[in-house]
A and B are shown apart, each in its own frame.
Chain A
Amino acid sequence: MVTGTEKHMVTSTSEQLKNKPIALTGEMFRRALTDSFVKLNPRLMVRNPVMFVVEVGSILTTALWIQALSGAGEAPAWYIGGVSLWLWFTVLFANFSEALAEGRGKAQADALRRARKDITAKKLSTPRHGSAFEVVASSALRKGDVFLVDAGDTIAADGEVMEGVASVDESAITGESAPVIRESGGDRSAVTGGTKVLSDWLVIRLTAEPGGGFLDRMIKLIEGAKRQKTPNEIALNILLAAFTIIFLVVCVTLLPFSIFSVAAAGQGTPITVTVLVALLVCLIPTTIGGLLSAIGIAGMDRMIRHNVIATSGRAIEAAGDVDVLLLDKTGTITLGNRMATEFTPAPGIASERLADAAQLASLADETPEGRSIVVLAKEKYGLRGREVHEIAAHFVPFSAQTRMSGVDIQGDGSMSKRIIRKGAADSIKTYIEQQGGVFPAAIQQAVQEIGRVGATPLVVSENKEVLGVIHLKDIVKGGIKERFAHLRRMGIKTVMITGDNKLTATAIAAEAGVDDFLAEAKPEDKLKLIRDYQKGGRLVAMTGDGTNDAPALAQADVAVAMNTGTQSAREAANMIDLDSNPTKLMEIVEIGKQLLMTRGTLTTFSIANDVAKYFAIIPAAFATTYPALNALNVMKLATPESAILSAVIFNALIIVALIPLALKGVKYRPVSAVQLLRRHLLIYGVGGLIAPFIGIKLVDLFLVAFGWT
């Protein structure tokens, strides 16, 4: 089970991670280096058919080298040895890339482990308010322990209220900005870790064993990056295996072809096994084969650096394919809290009077809405926020029964007693009418008007009189419209989910630029919406944090739970965002796409490289039988030996050269699929054709310069 303590801790850890991304250290390089050799174990290598073939080739050429040392070789020992050495390097480089990618994950996990200490809770000696408490580390808390939470404190863990009543900001979990009441007994006694007490205090008994769950699971996930292969990776592996088999046959049949040709031409010697192995290794897609697992691990790693823990690589891959994003309005599209933007006075009431009353009523209101009213009154009418103790006032907190809050100010000589209330239109109406007052038609109209434009009306009254309405507006986050446009270009549809009525939802949807919305959404509506999209063949992603989100999260293809969310939400999701940032979904999609693109580009590059390698190896392999084939030696490589060595060396070095790309991933650009394909074909397809011609020539020049030909 998870406790709030841990969540808090994780949040601080995640900040730590974010500020200091795990850099590649010398230590990590050293560890990767050792691992490269450990991974030579054929039982591990066989998981990767392409590199397994290279390893077998390395062993074979080593045997040939030993044979050559004894003077009975098919070619000079230095040459066979050189080929063999670089084949071993090829395998080692591939192993190194994988080890390096894994190393980063390990370092992340270590950082998480270290962070698992410094969190405190006010543990009570006896389960009563007012008894002595000691500040203890969360890890010291056990199920059944009782702790105190004062106003302003974050509740450390999931638990049950034993004593006290308090308003709690649960917006992090429910998405609702209005605070809720939590009290002992009844069905409002459960509190969730990560939520914040706004007023009063609570005594809470832990219902979950801390330290046993969430963080450990996370660490396991990161370290378990050795993971299972993802569906797409399996498909790619099949294709690569097919290429490997084809090239195996191409090379094996080349021996009889060569023997026949020697007889037909009446000159030369048949192709050597060394050259055949070299050709084979150069042709099979070693570049992508060697880097494939590193790419997958690095994808996981990129998620972690964005403070997202994915429970499987499959989920990351699916993220790249998402077509529909379901986004909760509150916190994702709009700022978590509504802001007061305007005062509309009732007929015959001065704006200043309304503003003054509204401010007085909100002075003690610590909710963001309350504070925004104080600020608006100050900005618009120059009303300074008065200190609560300056005036003889009694504040009435929001209660679930009255659905109002306000202030009672004792009258002194000149002034009579003022009873100011603010609240939802219907509550104030009932309240006023109970006292024999009149709720003006103009206000009724204003209330409806405000609802129509997507804002929330808050009516203010003094004694029996309605003073006016405060507009509480949902503030759409800056830049969100652009992000949605960007998503649209990627082919992703955005759907806003809100509990608001249709009118309000329409207005906000238009302002934010989402493609669609679901208003007055109940949890089961959400679930149905996801199912409908999925029936239509769409892949749906959503974020959620509340318990009531859990069914929808379980149904969605990509489900991101906020770290501050409830346990059930986190269990239903396949990713957890440590930052609890609902807009993170967009980055997750990009990381998913990057993962696929990196595989695609390196596959294309790898296969395109083969053309140049043929031009290097074929003239060299048949130099003695058919000297005429030297016309294909367009790179003008010095000797047959240098040509084959150059191809093998280039083939090995290109793996090292591409490790950074494999780890970093190909940069994602929000352009259409056609543009992206054109770009990548140009860089990795055409580039992959040309690059090895240059590279092999350079290696050859180098070999000639050192006289190794």
Chain B
Amino acid sequence: MTLNGSIQILIYLVVLVLAAKPLGKFMARVFQRERTFLDPVLGPVERFIYRMSGINPAEEMDWKANAIAMLLFNFVGLIVVYALQRLQQILPLNPQGLGAITPDSSFNTAVSFASNTNWQGYGGETTMSYLTQMLGLTVQNFVSAASGMAVLALFIRGIARHSAKTLGNFWVDMTRSTLYILLPLSIVLALVLVSQGVVQTFSPYVSVPLLEQTTDANGAKITEQVIAVGPAASQIAIKQLGTNGGGFFNVNSAHPLENPTPLSNFLEMFSILLIAAALCYTFGSMVGDTRQGWALLAAMMVILVAFVWVTYQAESTGNPRLASLGADQHSTSVNPGGNMEGKEVRFGVPNSALWGIVTTAASNGSVNSMHDSFTPIGGLGTLVMMQLGEVVFGGVGSGLYGMLVFVIVAVFVAGLLVGRTPEYLGHKIEAYEMKMASLLILIMPLTVLGLTALGVVMDAGKAAIYNPGAHGFSEVLYAFTSQGNNNGSAFGGLGANTPFYNLTGGIAMLISRYWLAVPTLALAGSLVKKKLIPTSEGTLPTHTPLFIFWLIAVVLIVGALNFLPALALGPIVEHFMMVQ
């Protein structure tokens, strides 16, 4: 670890916290349908959309109607993305003449982008036409993120309202999230990224003569290189902001045309957590007590910082086995030091470790280095961040509502500890809430562990594993952890574009997105009906350091207890074998 590296990480965290309030305030206004400075421009567009699609923006819906709207909308999106992939060879904007994608890969990708996971079994530049990328994937990047934000807005209203029936209108929340939040931010970010050298073009791939000519395996001379280009910047902006993570190019933000400079790296990394962090403030603002929002952000921050520290520490220490071979892993002015395998030299250890944790904390999944090549402890960090249920920041919207479920469990046990029927922000937490909260906590480990077990016993699963030993186990565990938490990052080392992984992964992504969103809305539907319980001396405050500590403990313990045995057989044993 170097001072320089630590300062870079610190700056990142400070800027993130500073940005949370202004954006959070703005988003609260958007969700509460108050006037914003964008109204003169976007107001007419918004009204036009409602008129065209026959939506009555004044209509309030209960949780069931909202859930149906959300499922319907996502289902249609999924079908469109599937059809675009299957038919891209006969559709325009395909200068490379790329053929139709296989049914299983199309299914996996369609689910992946609709569910805000952006797991990519394919390599973008060699599979997807520009039309598929733009109309299918980029559009889903927007609406899947907006979908998550809309569910969150509905959920927050469930907490903010009392003795009510309706949560709001999914269609309106989705439209406004896209129009007022995601679109403007993406435009700004895309332009800045272009200024840094990220490509944005409809031209076909470029061929350039090689400066150093080389020969291929057969001895034939290679004199030129094809450089993949395309409308990348517009997709990258939203892939970061909307916690999507699906790269335009196969190596994602490690690619020089996707993430060329340290500044573009900072901005892309900043965009990963920006909205998720700001939504905490939005939450506090909407429930009328911003301290509640800060408390959640604090809890997330503490966990994030702890894991960034562990991973940075592990990555900068490097591999002791290499040290015994005489490799110099110390950081100097000419040597980045630490474990540089799979990392870009223009980012170095600190920015790779930070990105690794940030992208897995948020359910983003874009990468600027290869997690497969992290040290075992570094890889453990990324795994655990996802296995906590993507509630430490998590996906835009989905992360916060996931965290609020943990809050409800924490409040429940804390309420018992102080001898009072638990309540959160004036809502009594009773059997129905616990039923939904338990379900929400239960589904993820069941999916991830169950499918991983399937992967390591079935031949189709084992055949795709590239690495031997415990590392191979980590690769399968990572794949299902990532998809089962809608993260979408890949560990690598797993040939996952096979019917087996495409199918099982697709199921994992469907479950983790929609089987969680529906009980979440049901929970909101139950909370919204409750009478307001006024606070008194006996009420347990949920914004104090003590409660934040308790919430962190609940998140960590529930996450750790579920996955410790599996982790022991993967990164943990790998670590001990490496150091012994």
Contact = CB atoms under 8 A, between A and B. Distances in A.
Interface string B405-426: 0000100111111111100001
Contact of A260 (B416, B418, B473, B538): B473
Interface stretch (B173-181, B318-326, B464-472, B494-502): B464-472
Interface stretch (A114-122, A305-313, A401-409, A488-496): A488-496
Given A488-B537, A491-B537, A599-B416, A249 B450 contact: yes
A371 interface: no
A659 interface: no
Contacts of B454: 256
A250 B442 contact: no
B11 interface: no
Interface stretch (A32-40, A98-106, A236-244, A330-338): A236-244
Contact of B564 (A241, A252, A538, A618): A618
Contacts of A674: 540-541, 544, 546
A633 B580 CA distance: 15
B538 A323 contact: yes
A475 B456 CA distance: 79
Contact of B416 (A242, A245, A600): A600
B430 interface: yes
Contacts of A607: 557, 561
A676 B569 contact: no
Interface string B309-342: 0000000000000000000000000000000000
Interface stretch (A89-97, A518-526, A677-685): A677-685
B511 interface: no
A629 interface: yes
Contacts of A604: 413, 417
A67 to B, nearest CB: 24
A131 to B, nearest CB: 59
Interface in B438-472: 438-439, 441-442, 445-446, 449-450, 452-454, 456-457, 462, 468-470, 472
Most chain-A Cβ atoms within 10 A of its Cβ — which of B532, B547, B557, B560? Answer: B557
Q: Is the interface of B mostly helix, strand, loop or mixed?
A: helix
A491 B540 CA distance: 10
A259 B453 CA distance: 10
A97 B420 CA distance: 24
Interface residue tally on B, bucketed by range: 35 or more
B538 A492 contact: yes
A488 B537 CA distance: 7
Given A264-B469, A320-B421, A676-B417, A253 B566 contact: yes
Contacts, number: 210
Contacts of B434: 235-236, 238-239
Interface stretch (A2-10, A187-195, A442-450, A589-597): A589-597
A259 B562 CA distance: 19
A246 B544 CA distance: 30
A599 B496 CA distance: 46
B12 interface: no
A626 interface: yes
A610 B420 contact: no
B43 to A, nearest CB: 38
A604 B538 CA distance: 20
Contact of B553 (A493, A614, A673, A685): A685
A601 interface: yes
Contacts of A235: 412, 429-431, 433-434
Interface in A535-552: 536-538
Interface string B37-81: 000000000000000000000000000000000000000000000
B536 interface: yes
B98 interface: no
Nearest to B454: A256
Interface string A611-630: 10010001000100010110
Nearest to B544: A674
B63 to A, nearest CB: 20
B435 interface: yes
7 contacts: A239-B409, A249-B450, A250-B566, A600-B417, A622-B568, A631-B580, A673-B539
Given A250-B445, A537-B534, A673-B538, 10 more contacts: A232-B430, A235-B412, A236-B412, A246-B446, A250-B561, A490-B538, A538-B533, A673-B541, A674-B541, A677-B414
